[in-house]
Amino acid sequence: MKWIIIILVVLAVLLAAALIWTAMKRKKDQVARQRASELRSDAASTAAEKQEREARARAAQAEADRVRAEADKLEVRAQQERTSYDMTQAKQEDHLREADRLDPDVDHRDPDYTPGLHRGPDHVGSDHGGATSSTDRDGATEARTWSQQQSDGPANPVPPGPETGISEEEQRRYRG
């Protein structure tokens, strides 16, 4: 009889352990189901937000693409404007070099020569506001404007030759 009581007590303990374990498992499953339900609710509520965010992301990407395309167009335009500017600047420098080459008062072969830093129509006799002075045989000083000097022709024309690159006919036209 002693063995029967021991077996019954062991069975009762096992049964109680099984019941406790089952109750804990049900509680754990119930908590897991409740948490899963909450996560599904959150997922459902964020589905609308997800679509809204996706639409905003697409719009932002489209705007970025549009701005990038516009920037590319502006870059091309800026490059064209830089090229145009460079061409204009080169043309201006060519004209200044040609003017300096023709001007007998400019040493365009000087190593320190810089185009355009020399006298021109607006800068002849720069200290006299476009007028120059010369002394005649009697020692009197005569003031002459640039336009008066030009009507007389250059004081020291550049002789034609290979270094000037202009013909005698062009020299005659230049002298007036």
pLDDT tens column, 97-133: 888 888 888 887 888 888 777 654 554 443 333 444 4
As beta bridge partners, residue 133 has 143
How confident is the model at residue 167, as a pLDDT? 59
Alpha-carbon distance of 94 to 111, in angstroms, equals 18
The structural domains of the chain, with segments of one domain joined by +, span: 120-176
CB 171 within 8 A of CB 157: yes
pLDDT tens column, 6-56: 999 999 999 999 999 999 999 999 999 999 999 998 888 888 888 899 999
Q: What mean pLDDT comes out for the span 166-171?
A: 59
Sign of the alpha-carbon torsion through 153, 156, 161, 163: negative
pLDDT over threshold 70, residue 170? no
Alpha-carbon distance of 90 to 84, in angstroms, equals 10
Q: Which two tokens stand for residue 144?
A: 């002459």
Alpha-carbon distance of 115 to 121, in angstroms, equals 15
Q: What mean pLDDT comes out for the span 150-165?
A: 47
pLDDT tens column, 58-100: 999 999 999 999 999 999 999 999 999 999 999 999 998 888 8
CB 23 within 8 A of CB 16: no
Cα–Cα–Cα angle for 95, 98, 100, rounded to 5 degrees = 105
> What single-letter DSSP state applies at residue 158?
P
H or E stretch including 143?
strand 141-145
